[in-house]
Structure formats: C-alpha cells, structure tokens
A = this chain, B = another copy of it.
Amino acid sequence: MNVMKPITPYYAVIFTSNLTGDDNVGYAEMAQQMQDLAKQQSGYLDFESAREEMGISISYWESLEAIAKWKANTDHLFAQQKGIKDWYSWYKVRICLVEREYDFER
C-alpha cells in the first residue's frame, strides 16, 4: 500500500526489462539487494515492481541529482554491469517528471 503524500513534481525512473531466459542465477537476490540499497539513498521516495514476461521496476526520487547519485553508486554499478553481462536480453530506462497524481482506495 502506498501512503506517500502528493508531493509532485518529483521524478520516476521506469526500468523495463526482459531476462535472457537462462537460469538467471542470483538475479532475484541482486534485485532485492538493490531495492534495499536504493531505499537507503538520499532523495529516495518509493519503489514499485512487477514481472510477468516483461519486468517493470519504477523507483521514485526527489530530484535528478538523487537519480544520478544512485546510478553512480558503486554497488549499483556492479549490479548494472552484471545485469548486462548475465541477466538482461533487453532493457529500457526512462527518466520522468511526475507532474500529477491521484489515487483511489476502497
């Protein structure tokens, strides 16, 4: 459940990916580690993800500076390199300004 208050504008990094379909040994653990590590970064706001055929992971950030710092984080760089080498057949990264939001709760 997302209880984040509206604080637009903020930033979203949409990361969509397909895995190679090989064993993907270590992928789930690394994904969890990176999610945990992202939460500790300055400017981090939230994280959402789901995978069926395609995986979609969205991290939310206060600023472009926070995103740039997270991208350059040493452990994250290692994970990115491992992803390119072993896990992903394709991915796409989109840097987005979240201009407006609204929600519904039963």
Residues in chain A within 8 A of chain B (CB atoms): 1-2, 12, 14, 16, 18, 20, 48-56, 58, 84, 88-106
Contact = CB atoms under 8 A, between A and B. Distances in A.
Contacts of A99: 95-97
Number of copies: 2
A18 B48 CA distance: 12
A92 B103 contact: yes
B106 A89 contact: yes
A93 B103 contact: yes
A27 to B, nearest CB: 15
A56 B12 CA distance: 13
A99 to B, nearest CB: 5
